[in-house]
Structure 1
């Protein structure tokens, strides 16, 4: 009998799996970003490619997940907006 291997994967569960990379972050199929500490480009085999700079905006306009831009919240949190309009916070 083989031992069961349980491992958390980026964008698992309700997030629907990995849709792509947003720099070093995993972009999930539900439009949010993963809280994983892993490097998306390294996991997907895109290591060595330059990551695009991440722009921090003050308003909620133009910071859609996957655009490379993030907004800062009133308490300093960094987030992007999912297609459904929810905030997806970047892990500190």
Structure 2
């Protein structure tokens, strides 16, 4: 039984937005936008630009935010030191990997 749970955990870890991020909500260009409103740190390219991703745990897109840097609204901002980020639903910055 323990081996089966370990296998399921390992399988889930191979998908963008796995774990507490709740799965993929939609794509923003090549980036995966997660159900918690953040962007995934995955280096995998999101294959359906602007639409829902075909991945396990896919959720529904929430309404867009008025936040000028909202991940959910596909708005990427540049920080004072050149880092690219957007803000998740909780207000936390979610950085785009270089």
TM-score normalized by the length of structure 1: 0.68
Quote the offset at 1:87 in angstroms: 0.5
Quote the offset at 1:69 in angstroms: 1.9
**What is the aligned partner in structure 1 of residue 95 from structure 2?**
89
Q: SS at 2:76's partner residue? A: strand
Pair 1:25 & 2:25 matched: no
**CA-based RMSD:** 2.1
Pair 1:36 & 2:39 matched: no
**What is the aligned partner in structure 1 of residue 17 from structure 2?**
11
Residues paired across the two proteins, number: 74
Pair 1:63 & 2:66 matched: no
Unmatched runs of 5 consecutive residues or more in structure 2: 1-6, 55-66
Quote the offset at 1:41 in angstroms: 1.6
**What is the aligned partner in structure 2 of residue 72 from structure 1?**
78
**What is the aligned partner in structure 2 of residue 56 from structure 1?**
none
Quote the offset at 1:66 in angstroms: 2.5
Q: Which has the higher strand share?
A: 1
Unmatched runs of 5 consecutive residues or more in structure 1: 46-60
Aligned partners of 2:18, 2:44: CA distance in 1, in Å? 14
